[in-house]
């Protein structure tokens, strides 16, 4: 199925979910990478997941900060809980990327329900790991009187907002999109990659040779020679020689010599010599 057909078959909830997912990803990248997870109440220290900054007040109220990477070295002893927060944040970042990949695939490449379910699962895991990271960071930062020294800052609150968006908006949209897309495919009778989809009150796709399901584009298909189903693009087909279907363009066609169907373009045909169809002018 083409990109346009897959996009039109996907439900609007999935399409809105893709937009929400993009915004969520951008917010998380900012919170994940910047140095505003915590700052000291004196304003002299700023902490991120990857850097720590020492700041001093300059002239005219300006502030100058010198940042250094938070890596294990002689003057920096990085605690295990900080490493755990980092690990959870990185895993969540990967899950968000996989969520975006599966969501785009489900909208443009394939209508397999497993891809939509995978995007939902990846979104849940991403939210769970971000939640673990922010809870662990807050608990350990304020442990032992740390709340008298530090306050949380914008990067932390961005990641908190991302968690809320994932669980309150994104996941419900992806779930509704999956359910509605599945129902829509069943309603229009699309069989994709050999899977027959049916729903109560709707007619399932016809079967071709050996009971295999063949996808259709827009209109129902007819059965040709030996029961093999031939798809058509816009108009019903007629039966010609040996029951093989021949497409027509706009008006019903007449049958030519030996029962072979001759298509016409604009007007009903007149019959000429030996029953051949001649296009009327």
pLDDT in tens, 86-119: 999 999 999 999 999 999 998 888 878 899 999 9
Per-residue pLDDT at 280 = 40
Helix (H) or strand (E) holding 69: strand 63-69
For residue 95, give the nearest of 115, 116, 121, 131 by alpha carbon: 121
Same domain, 141 and 31: yes
Per-residue pLDDT at 204 = 45
Q: Is the pLDDT of residue 257 over 70?
A: no
Per-residue pLDDT at 260 = 47
Per-residue pLDDT at 6 = 66
Neighbouring residues of 87: CB distance < 8 A, sequence distance ≥ 6: none
How sure is the predictor about 2, in pLDDT bands with cuts at 50, 70 and 90?
low
Q: Are 188 and 195 in contact (CB under 8 A)?
A: no
**Average pLDDT for residues 55-64, to the nearest whole number?**
74
CATH label of the domain that carries residue 8: 1.20.140.150
Beta bridge partners of 229: 223
Per-residue pLDDT at 209 = 42
Return d(Cα 90, Cα 93) in angstroms, integer: 5
How sure is the predictor about 57, in pLDDT bands with cuts at 50, 70 and 90?
confident
Looking at residue 278, what DSSP letter applies? E
- Within a domain: residue 171? yes
pLDDT in tens, 185-229: 664 454 444 444 444 444 444 444 444 444 444 444 444 444 444
How open is the CA angle 20-25-27, to the nearest 5 degrees? 95
- Within a domain: residue 134? yes
Return d(Cα 212, Cα 196) in angstroms, integer: 9
What is the pLDDT of the chain when averaged over all its residues? Answer: 74
For residue 123, give the nearest of 18, 6, 49 by alpha carbon: 18
Same domain, 181 and 104: yes
Give, rounded to a whole angstrom, the gap between the first and last alpha carbons of the chain: 38
- Within a domain: residue 121? yes
Looking at residue 192, what DSSP letter applies? B
Same domain, 110 and 147: yes
Same domain, 158 and 229: no
Collapse the DSSP code of 172 into the 3-class scheme (helix H, G, I; strand E, B; otherwise coil) and give the result: helix
Same domain, 155 and 244: no
**Average pLDDT for residues 158-168, to the nearest whole number?**
97
Q: Are 247 and 233 in contact (CB under 8 A)?
A: yes
Enter the tokens of residue 198: 């049916």
Return d(Cα 49, Cα 34) in angstroms, integer: 8
Count of all residues that appear for the chain in the document? 281
Q: Are 130 and 88 in contact (CB under 8 A)?
A: yes
Same domain, 37 and 175: yes
Same domain, 68 and 177: yes
**Average pLDDT for residues 38-66, to the nearest whole number?**
83
Q: Spell out the alpha helix ranges (H) of 34-112.
A: 80-108
- Within a domain: residue 157? yes
Q: Which of 188, 221, 239 is the last residue of a domain?
A: 188
- Within a domain: residue 97? yes
Backbone angles phi, psi at 229, to 5 degrees: -90, 130
Same domain, 139 and 228: no
Q: Which of 188, 223, 240 is the last residue of a domain?
A: 188
Same domain, 100 and 141: yes
pLDDT in tens, 231-242: 444 444 444 444
Q: Are 280 and 268 in contact (CB under 8 A)?
A: yes
Per-residue pLDDT at 61 = 64
- Within a domain: residue 184? yes
- 145 or 30, higher pLDDT: 30
Q: Is 15 exposed, middle or buried (0-12, 13-18, 19+ CB in 10 A)?
A: middle
**Number of folded domains that form the chain:** 2
Same domain, 174 and 46: yes
Helix (H) or strand (E) holding 21: helix 12-33
Q: What is the domain range of residue 252? A: 209-278
Same domain, 148 and 237: no
Handedness of CA 27, 29, 35, 39 (dihedral sign): positive
- Within a domain: residue 69? yes
Neighbouring residues of 83: CB distance < 8 A, sequence distance ≥ 6: none
Backbone angles phi, psi at 122, to 5 degrees: -65, -40
Same domain, 77 and 120: yes
- Within a domain: residue 201? no
How sure is the predictor about 166, in pLDDT bands with cuts at 50, 70 and 90?
very high
């Amino acid at each position: 199925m083409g990109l346009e057909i897959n996009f039109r078959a996907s439900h609007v909830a999935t399409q809105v979910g893709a937009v929400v997912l993009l915004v969520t990803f951008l917010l998380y990248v900012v919170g994940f990478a910047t140095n505003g997870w915590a700052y000291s109440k004196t304003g002299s220290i700023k902490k991120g997941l990857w850097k720590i900054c020492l700041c001093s007040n300059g002239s005219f109220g300006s502030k100058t900060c010198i940042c250094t990477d938070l890596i294990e070295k002689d003057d920096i002893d990085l605690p295990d809980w900080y490493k755990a927060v980092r690990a959870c944040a990185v895993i969540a970042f990967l899950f968000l990327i996989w969520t975006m990949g599966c969501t785009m695939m489900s909208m443009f490449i394939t209508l397999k329900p497993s891809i939509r379910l995978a995007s939902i699962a990846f979104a849940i895991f991403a939210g769970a790991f971000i939640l673990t990271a922010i809870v662990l960071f807050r608990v350990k930062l304020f442990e032992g009187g740390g709340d008298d020294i530090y306050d949380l800052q914008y990067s932390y609150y961005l990641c908190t907002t991302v968690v809320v968006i994932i669980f309150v908006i994104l996941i419900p949209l992806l779930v509704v999109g999956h359910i509605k897309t599945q129902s829509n495919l069943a309603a229009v009778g699309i069989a994709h990659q050999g899977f027959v989809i049916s729903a109560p009150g709707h007619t399932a796709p016809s079967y071709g040779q050996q009971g295999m399901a063949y996808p259709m584009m827009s209109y129902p298909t007819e059965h040709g020679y030996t029961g093999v189903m031939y798809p058509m693009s816009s108009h019903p087909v007629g039966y010609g020689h040996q029951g093989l279907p021949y497409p027509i363009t706009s008006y019903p066609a007449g049958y030519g010599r030996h029962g072979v169907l001759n298509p016409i373009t604009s007007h009903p045909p007149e019959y000429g010599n030996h029953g051949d169809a001649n296009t009327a002018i």
